[in-house]
Amino acid sequence: MSVFSALFGRREPSSREVAKNRLQLVLVHDRVDLSPQKMQMLRDELISAISKYVEIDVEGMQVNLTQNNRHCRLTADIPVLAARPKR
């Protein structure tokens, strides 16, 4: 633990918290019935569709499934680098 972490209360998540988060992710994917292959296909199609209009940072892109109470949420964080010129 660094001095700043000790002073400002930042800490690494415990192995229990990491395991809990991983299990929640597996349960969400199972509940929605999205395999890793389908998630990759979804990501690829998002890249294809969005790239028609703007230049994006594919390496910085994140697509996640989360669960909030009884609802599953698909979120995409896509860094936009520049707009494409009008045709």
List, for residues 16-51, the tens digit of each pLDDT value: 888 877 777 666 666 667 788 888 998 999 999 999
pLDDT at 60: 94
| Residues 61 and 47 sit within 8 Å (Cβ to Cβ) | yes
pLDDT in tens, 51-66: 999 999 999 999 888 7
Domain extents for the chain? 12-83
pLDDT of residue 56: 95
Q: How confident is the model at residue 4 (pLDDT cuts 50, 70, 90)?
A: low
Q: Is the pTM of this model over 0.75?
A: no
HSE (side-chain half, CA atoms, 13 Å) at 39: 17
